[in-house]
Chain A
Amino acid sequence: MTSQQISRGSLVQPVRRPRRSQLDGARDYVSAQDWRRPGVNTTMKALHLILLVLLVIVGIGPMLLLAKFAITPTQDIIRTPLAVFPHGIAWGNITEAWNHVQINRYFLNTIWIAAGSWFVQLLVATTGGYLLSVLRPAWGKIVNGLVIATLFVPSVVLLVPLYLTILKPPLLGTSLINNFFAVWLPSGASAFNVVLVKRFFDGLPREVFEAAQMDGAGPFRLFWSIVLPMSKPILGVVSVFASIASWKDFLWPMLVLKDPSKQPLSVRLPAIASHTDLGVFLASLAISTLIPVAFFLVFQRLFLSGAGLGGAVKG
């Protein structure tokens, strides 16, 4: 298995793909003539309407329900979950979740963990990609091979030994348990990111590098002032992947972040589920949902193109 095979087989060059095409396709299986035929027109429109209704139910429905429960008194949630506020609205759930469950604190932890993972992943992927694509030492092939080999090792096999490594990390002499580095550092070991960035760097025009070197740019300046600025698209993709992956992670942070004051929402919420008043708990879930959904609505295009690109590069 070589990098060429992977790249040819599975990695489309993201730079060539114009972003706007993600949503507004040029041409599909229903032609302009087809649309003019009344039968087709009605059928398609009906299908689209049905789809829209289903998407609303499936996409927004659960969240609307959650929003409703967040301000419903616990006893009503238990006895008549779908009745519309038979005993009034319990705004107290929200304040209780915010002040007592301290959702804000765990949300900050979540952000902090994601930010650190993002930084480590970007650092490893860009320096590694630069080394393997641009600097190309002779021993780079071995490194490249070893990095790619890890693509074939599913993360599950790392679970226990990685955990033990965090307990007794080399050189440090102190356990990294309850330390954000225990999540940040292992996240950097993503072969997928390195390969992705390397492939992108491979596609950058060498003439530019040449010119820069004529001007006397050393390897660091070349990296910082030429390569990175030219690589914004792929950095964006890696960033989206990194933050989504970190946002979703549960098992690993649960194992290494035992101290509640360090835990992200994903670890904290299950821990308090059976000790927290149901209404307050659902309010906590609602707040935890609201924030990413708001992010999504604001940065919709970035999310969707990132997800589309994700498919494109994976595919």
Chain B
Amino acid sequence: MSTASTRVRTDDVITRGDPQPARPRPVRRRTLKTWVRRGGLSRIVFALPVLIIFGVFSWWPIVRSITMSFQKTNLVAPARWVGWSNFEYVLTDPDLPTAIRNTLYFALLALVIGFPIPLVAAVLINSVRRRKGLYSALAYLPVVVPPVVAVLLWKFFYDGSTDGVFNTFLGWLGLGPYEWLSNRVLVMPALVVEATWAAAGGTVIIYLAALISVPGELYDAAEVDGAGIWQKIWHVTMPQLRGVLFITLILQIIATVQVFLEPYLFTGGGPANATLTVLLMIYNYAFARSLGGDYGAATALSVMLAAFLAILSLVYFKLTSAWSKS
């Protein structure tokens, strides 16, 4: 394997003239100088940013979230160990099933609406002869809008009165008015449509990059076999996109399961909990109680969500590595 050989060579280079790879072991005083000369000090210096930043802002909080899920604390009195009671509290919360259902529903809708649209758009743009850049730029433009601005703008568009922006448009067609954000059936699709608008452009560009790297010979070969355009798309383009499609799919699921911005800013979880998501629940436990957060319940729920997502990521890495072997 090429990486392995590179690795050996690197070690030779860096620790040239030294048969043993240098180790940061200033065991005795007189070897300290040697250690420094061998590059021990510079290793420590280069390690510091990673160790400090990851240590303080990643590794330690991860450990802490697990311990905190078994504790009760209000930040004033010292934390108490409470066993599984935080988990019990969360699992018996009458809102939890609703939140899980809503989160999965959001993820599913995001797939149904958000998955095919960028694919179709990218495949079509791929065959554009002139001004391909214009198409890509137009598709990408919504991604540039800051997400919070996008949500606030769409919230205004979704105004439920007859004078709302979308309702005025629909009124011209003789439809509506619809109370987009106050209707329990419409509200989730409304959120997903905005989220798709805001994100699809990025996916289009990713697909376009993948489409361009489809080897031309494959098309040539297909044409020799007499394949038409549709057959070429179906039998050449799509199989070639399989990998990137699967990956964006998994990444999208992982991202949508953690959705927060849209329900928080559009509806605050309403109406009647119709857009209450798991992340919103975590936020509410920790930060939305007027007299002190329930950090134990919040971490317990986030640990459970994280376990679920970690399984998803594992599946993702297993499958992608299996894929690239085949």
Residues of A near any B CB (own CB < 8 A): 1, 4-10, 17, 21-31, 33-35, 40, 44, 47-48, 51-52, 55-56, 58-60, 62-63, 65-66, 69, 78-82, 120, 123-124, 127-128, 130-131, 133-139, 143, 146-147, 150-165, 167, 169-170, 185-186, 188-189, 191, 194, 202, 206, 209-210, 213, 218-220, 223, 247-248, 250-251, 255, 265-267, 269-270, 273, 278, 282, 285, 288-289, 292-293, 295-297, 300, 303-304, 307-312, 314-315
Contact = CB atoms under 8 A, between A and B. Distances in A.
Given A66-B153, A143-B50, A150-B54, A300 B133 contact: yes
Given A66-B153, A285-B152, A250 B10 contact: no
B143 A154 contact: no
A262 to B, nearest CB: 16
Contacts of A311: 202-203, 205-207, 209-210, 244, 248
B147 A248 contact: yes
Contact of B146 (A124, A150, A288): A288
A130 B7 CA distance: 13
A58 B201 CA distance: 11
Interface string B262-302: 00110000000000000100110011000001010011001
Nearest to A166: B57
Given A154-B258, A218-B42, A309 B146 contact: no
Contacts of A151: 313
Interface residues of B, number: 129
B49 interface: yes
Interface of B is mostly: helix
Contacts of A23: 132-133, 136, 208
A227 to B, nearest CB: 11
A154 B233 contact: no
B51 interface: yes
A17 B213 CA distance: 9
A157 B65 contact: yes
Interface in B132-177: 132-149, 152-154, 156-157, 163-165, 168-169
Given A52-B135, A127-B49, A154 B310 contact: yes
A146 B54 contact: yes
Interface string B243-260: 110011001001000101
A280 to B, nearest CB: 13
Contacts of B132: 23-25
Contacts of A137: 21-24, 40, 43, 47
Contact of A206 (B6, B43, B208): B6
Interface string B60-74: 111011001000000
Contacts of B9: 206
B152 A139 contact: no
Nearest to B234: A29
A220 to B, nearest CB: 6
Interface stretch (B88-96, B106-114, B118-126, B180-188): B118-126
Which one of B153, B298, B299, B303 has the greatest number of beta carbons of chain A within 10 Å? Answer: B153
Given A29-B236, A147-B54, A315-B243, A304 B137 contact: yes
B82 interface: no
A29 B279 contact: no
Closest 6 CB pairs of A and B: A311-B206, A27-B216, A308-B209, A9-B321, A161-B61, A128-B50
A29 B220 CA distance: 9
Contacts of A10: 247, 317, 320
A1 B163 contact: no
A220 B44 CA distance: 12
B148 A265 contact: yes
Contact of B10 (A25, A29, A136, A266): A136
Contacts of B10: 133-134, 136, 206, 209
A59 B138 contact: yes
Contact of B314 (A152, A161, A251, A289): A152
B190 to A, nearest CB: 14
A199 to B, nearest CB: 9
A12 B61 CA distance: 31
Contacts of A5: 317, 321
B212 A127 contact: no
Contacts of A157: 62, 65, 299, 302-303, 305-306
27 contacts: A1-B317, A25-B132, A25-B211, A27-B214, A30-B229, A51-B124, A124-B49, A127-B46, A128-B49, A128-B50, A137-B24, A154-B310, A159-B282, A159-B302, A160-B282, A185-B53, A185-B56, A219-B39, A220-B42, A250-B147, A251-B261, A300-B133, A304-B140, A310-B206, A312-B206, A314-B248, A315-B206
